[in-house]
Structure 1
Amino acid sequence: MSEIQTAQRAARRTRRGRTRGMRSAAPGQNTHLRVPFITRKIPPYDLLGEDALDRIEAAADRMLAEIGIELREDAEAMRLYRDAGAEVRPASGEAWNIRFEPGMLREILRTAPARFTQCARNPANNVEIGGDAMVFAPAYGSPFVMDLDKGRRYGTIEDFQNLVKLAQSSPWLHHSGGTICEPTDVAVNKRHLDMVYAHMRYSDRAFLGSITAPERAADSIEMCRILFGADFVDQNCVIMGNFNTTSPLVLDGVTTAGIRTYAGAGQGSIHLPFLLGGAVSPLTMAGSVAQCLAESMASAALTQLVRPGAPAILAGFLSSMSLRSGSPTFGTPEPALGSLVMGQLARRLQLPLRCAGNFSTSKRPDGQAMQQAMMSMMSAIQGGANYILHTAGFLDGLLSMSYEKFVMDCDMAGALHAYLAGIEVNDDTLGIEALAQNGPGEHLFGTDHTLRHYQTAYWDSALNDDQPYETWEEQGSIDSARRANARWKGILAAYEAPPMNEATDEALKDFIARKKAGMPDAWY
């Protein structure tokens, strides 16, 4: 019997053999998979041997000791590095070349926690970051949004709020994220207040704060003191900042001042080089990984110089590039391999890791988008990443946040919950009784074993169309992008904001109003 004949026969048996109870199961339910964060049950994949990892670490040490990191316009950060033992050489103007002896940064980073809790305003949604814990968060930083109805356009605060609501509504995301899109209809120097408030009001999950200026970082933390209470914030991580180095090998003063602001308050930070191979890092992936390690360690170490024990996440955003056009490429195999290696290096350092996500350069929520996304996302899953920021919505090389791809990616994230749960092997799951109940040649649809497991044995997509071709055609031949379009609209129509104490809400609004009134609008 051919594979096609076997599949057709199985489909006929399925349609004939379903019981009444099986027909009543809600598609996409998957309630057994819903968790505040994932505890992985499958091991990460170790790509390289110890000798190769030693050579990458040695290359990072040479970069730090022989070339150094350029620090710009932050004399306090320079003092902290110098007092810790780094060699400081004056560069041009308010800039210094900071050089680190091999092993120095690793020693400083020993006080950073290997695993920590970020608290949410709903304690049931607290997340663990590090070790075998994995957290999914939406994509971050797009100036544009797009959907099938209105096309590509600049993001607004309404789009930002909608995307926070979609994230809150997904059982497969664990974190509200940060700058899900840029709300370009709000002044640059004031939009951080509206973004942080949107996370607080329309989600009860953990979130990221502003990092674009140290005073905006301070505002984000102060809003958390209103939401959680000052004493609680001092003793717990309730907010994190996502900080980029300026590659190659530069830390600018705005970044380091922001890092110091978060660390000084005992809050978390992510330390991310954004490396384009051949442009700001070596074209070869081994060199990019070594540079990524060097930059991320130098950035993360600053947190421990400010406040030992402050949460810090090692990170890597590795990207290939089209050498014919100079454009970044996403979802390609080489950066995926690099993410696997970053996982191994993070485990050596005993630091949590952020890397990869559902990356794509496609301009539509199509086959290219999902093929590239899966290549990139699986590298984070297999590599052992602990915090995956770009889990949902990433399109157009991160220039656009797509409503349709957001829900398509969330559906994929649900499948990854099942994948990361692994396979449980015991007398029940081995299923011998299922075969024995009716004997050879008989279907298993009505057996006790099937009825006991049918709701939890397989992940059930809320978005895929798995019907026969004829049924799909009769129902309008609707493709996945159009199904996703209907789905995000339905989610927003049914959305209800999680309750918030009225006095707390008013205090947040008052803080925002006073802050905005105290400065003129700035649009650049």
Structure 2
Amino acid sequence: MTDESAAPVSSGRRGRSGGGADARRAARTATTITQAGFIRRAIKPYEPFTDEQLQLIEDNAEIVLQETGIDFYEDEEAVQMWKDAGATVTQGNEPRRFRLRFPKGLVRSLIKTAPREYVQHARNPANNVTIGGNNTVFAPVYGPPFIRNLDEGRRYATIEDFRNFAKLVYMLPSLHHAGGTLCEPVDVPVPKRHLDMIYSHIKYNDKPFMSSVTSGERAADSVAMCELLFGKDFVDQNCVMTSLINANSPMVWDGVMLGALKVLARANQACVISPFIVAGAMSPVSTVGTLTQLLAEASVGIAFTQLCRPGAPVVFGTFAASMSMQSGAPTFGTPEPAFVTFGAAQLARRMGVPFRSGGGLCGSKIPDAQAAYESANTLWPTLLSGVNFCLHAAGWLEGGLASGYEKLIMDADQLTMFQKFAEGVDFSENGQAMDAIREVGPGSHYLGSAHTQANFQTAFWRSSLADNNSFEQWQDEGSKDIVVRANAKWKQMLRDYEAPALDPGIDQSLQDFIAQRKAVLPDSMS
């Protein structure tokens, strides 16, 4: 598909206006996508750790912050801010590397200004999401340099792939958030590609999205583009981006991430503070040791957002995986990362901030049974632990190296099941079904009862991809497995895609900004 043929997207509420008739015409003719809405969980989170065990982890993390400390690298402004706040600073073993140690209670006291939940605004207000509380927001895969599909196999991703994924995510109701780096478009120079990615999120989708965080300058470009879309004052007072900020585990915060964090937090945009931990390599092999280090690293990042701007929205995050002690490769869907997710979720609730973790993670190279099992074994703890923001919920393959077209469709189908499960059990009069029991009585069946007839369309969750027909019917229809069916579905979705309307004046403002920025940025691919 070509991106230029699609109609633009947006609310058209703010920014430079123009072409009102064109905007109204586009709004009238745009396809309406019915979204499921973010999940409001009616089930209680599973909490395997006792208060005494959590207190032990918190006490140990305080010891780490006081005695071992956290390194800050290549950001002297951040170091000075911490020094002014009361941290002890010593020179590290490299120039511009400093070891920070924190008096007991300092970090926790700063975190108190962080909100327990916040609204991230989409350009279509119907797609706003509330992150925190009893809510779960599913966002797609983030970051892979490769894509995989049934027709081409594995190859480097392009900007056309990014646009395709943006369109598909828009059309999938079980994905509540557009995400961020859906894949790395390697055909666009690194210094410029963030502009095309943010524009694609704005043009082809109307769900909330994420900032570029690969430098402070690119984060600032993301904020500027949002100001053109929403208006500068609106962005200053409201969250319009939730973005991923990774600690360089073990126990290092580097200048790249700190630079993006400062820009976003000062602009009142949400940062997901996520230590990137593969247990056994970046943290101890034990669950409690990993949770201790994770809490220490994340607490410092969360507190730093509040040093930048008290009250700025922030999310406690973790990427939880273990390592094969035989090969050194990360492994997914195993018990130990599940316990890290459960424990970190409990720690986040005690801290009073939203929590990010989980996803449809797998190490499989293709969307096979291994991918399905590992993804399911990661998504169940995601839902049951009470994760608020779930990145990588759909499309993840090969340990995060590939974005899968078919995997995106298969995962999104399963997410509708998790959405149904999160609703809990219906105890209304209809749910009690006493009228059906009285009507049918002993020795008959419920197929023709009034209650069954009234509820048969919504009684049970049903997959849109799974084949539950007889063997003969399946064979007559081509013996297609679920990957083949998913392949046909994403192709049909792209053929049917119509972009939501974007005010032409806003669109032109964004294109002008991108042209101006690209004119001064280098074409170097690094």
> What TM-score, normalized to structure 1?
0.93
Aligned to 2:30: none
- What secondary structure, in the 3-state scheme, does the structure 2 residue paired with 1:273 have? strand
Q: Secondary structure, in 3 states, of the residue corresponding to 1:251?
A: strand
- Worse-superposed segment, 310-319 or 51-60: 51-60
Query: Any stretches of 5+ residues in structure 1 without a counterpart?
Result: 1-32
Q: Which residue of structure 2 lines up, in the alignment, with residue 23 of structure 1? A: none
Q: Which residue of 1 aligns with 2:476?
A: 474
Paired residue secondary structure (1:190): helix
1: CA distance, partners of 2:156 / 2:204? 21
1:378-425 deviation per Cα after TM superposition (whole angstroms, max 9, x unaligned): 111111110001100000000000000000000010001100000021
Whether the 8 Å CA contact 2:73–2:253 is kept in 1: the answer is: yes
Indicate the larger mover: 363-372 or 429-438: 429-438
Deviates more, 1:379-388 or 1:451-460: 451-460
Aligned counterpart in structure 2 of residue 441 of structure 1, from 423, 439, 443: 443
Distance 2:428 2:398 in 1: 45
Q: Distance in 2 between matches of 1:151 and 1:171?
A: 27
CA separation in 2, counterparts of 1:450 and 1:273? 49
- Among 325, 328, 340, which residue is 2:327 paired with? 325
SS at match of 1:111: coil
Match of 1:303 in 2: 305
Matches within 5 A, 1:75-86: 75-86=76-87
Is it true that 1:48 corresponds to 2:38 in the alignment?
no
Within the candidate set 387, 390, 401, 1:388 is matched to: 390
C-alpha displacement of 1:364: 0.9
Instruction: Say whether the 8 Å CA contact 1:240–1:262 is kept in structure 2.
Output: no
Measured in 2, the distance between the counterparts of 1:363 and 1:94 equals 40
Aligned twin of 2:399 = 397
- One-letter amino acid of the structure 2 residue matched with residue 112 of structure 1: A
- Name the aligned partner's letter for residue 173 of structure 2: P
C-alpha separation in 2, matches of 1:106 and 1:424: 40
SS at match of 1:189: helix
Contact 2:167–2:205 under 8 Å retained in 1: yes
Unmatched runs of 5 consecutive residues or more in structure 2? 1-33
Q: Distance in 1 between matches of 2:308 and 2:409?
A: 40
Question: Partners in 1 of 2:425 and 2:509 — Cα distance?
Answer: 48
Superposition map of 1:412-491 within 5 A: 412-491=414-493
Q: Which residue does the alignment assign to 1:202?
A: 204
Q: Which runs of 4+ in 1 moved over 3 A?
A: none
| Aligned position for 1:24 | none
Equivalent residues in 2 for 1:276-315 (5 A)? Answer: 276-315=278-317
d(CA) in 1 for partners of 2:156, 2:270: 30
Instruction: Give the equivalent residue in structure 2 for 1:59.
Output: 60
Are 1:271 and 1:313, in contact at CA under 8 Å, matched by a contact in 2? yes
Secondary structure of 1:413's match?
A: helix
Q: Tell me the CA shift for residue 480 of structure 1.
A: 0.8
C-alpha deviation, 1:103, in angstroms: 2.3
Decide whether the 8 Å contact of 1:260 with 1:303 is kept in 2.
yes
Alignment root-mean-square deviation, CA: 1.2
Structure 2 residue aligned with 1:181: 183
Matched, 1:367 2:349: no
Query: Would you say how many aligned residue pairs link Structure 1 and Structure 2?
Result: 493
| Cα displacement string for residues 299-352 of structure 1 (whole angstroms, at most 9, x for unaligned residues) | 111110010000000011111111111111112121011101111101100110
Distance 1:281 1:417 in 2: 32
Matches for 1:40-189 after TM superposition, within 5 Å: 40-91=41-92, 92-189=94-191
Q: Which letter does structure 1 place at the counterpart of 2:203?
A: R
In 2, Cα distance between the equivalents of 1:457 and 1:105?
Answer: 49
Q: Deviations over 1:335-382 (max 9, x none)?
A: 011101111101100110000110000011111101000111111111
TM-superposition CA deviations, 1:63-112 (whole Å, max 9, x none): 11111010011111111111111111121311111111232211111100
Match of 1:193 among 161, 170, 195: 195
Kept in 2, the 8 Å contact 1:288–1:318? The answer is no
Q: 1:271 & 1:420 partners in 2: Cα distance?
A: 25
* 1:229 aligned partner, one-letter code: G
Which amino acid counterpart does residue 346 of structure 2 have in structure 1? Q
Q: Report if aligned partners of 2:40, 2:134 keep a CA contact under 8 Å in 1.
A: yes
Structure 2 residue identity aligned to 1:38 = I
Secondary structure of the 1:121 match is coil
Could you tell me which amino acid in structure 2 is paired with residue 35 of structure 1? A
Report the CA distance between 1:60 and its aligned residue. 1.2
Alignment partner, residue 249 of structure 2: 247
Deviation at 1:56, TM superposition (A): 1.1
Deviates more, 1:497-506 or 1:78-87: 78-87
Q: CA deviation at 1:466?
A: 1.1
Instruction: Tell me by how many angstroms 1:137 deviates.
Output: 0.3
In the aligned structure 2, how far is the partner of 1:444 from the partner of 1:204? 43
Distance across 2 between alignment mates of 1:455 and 1:297: 47
Match of 1:229 in 2: 231
Rounded to whole Å, the distance in 2 between the matches of 1:76 and 1:229 is: 29
Per the TM alignment, residue 161 of structure 1 is displaced from its structure 2 partner at its CA by 0.5
Q: CA deviation at 1:233?
A: 0.6
Between the aligned partners of 1:110 and 1:460, the Cα distance in structure 2 is 43
Residues 276-298 of structure 1: CA deviation (Å, up to 9, x unaligned): 11211101121111111111111
Looking at structure 2, the residues matched to 102 and 319 of structure 1 have their Cα atoms a distance apart, in angstroms, of 29
Displacement of 1:34: 5.1
* Partner-residue secondary structure (3-state), 2:190: coil
Match of 1:37? 38
Name the counterpart of 1:26: none
Matches within 5 A, 1:497-512: 497-512=499-514
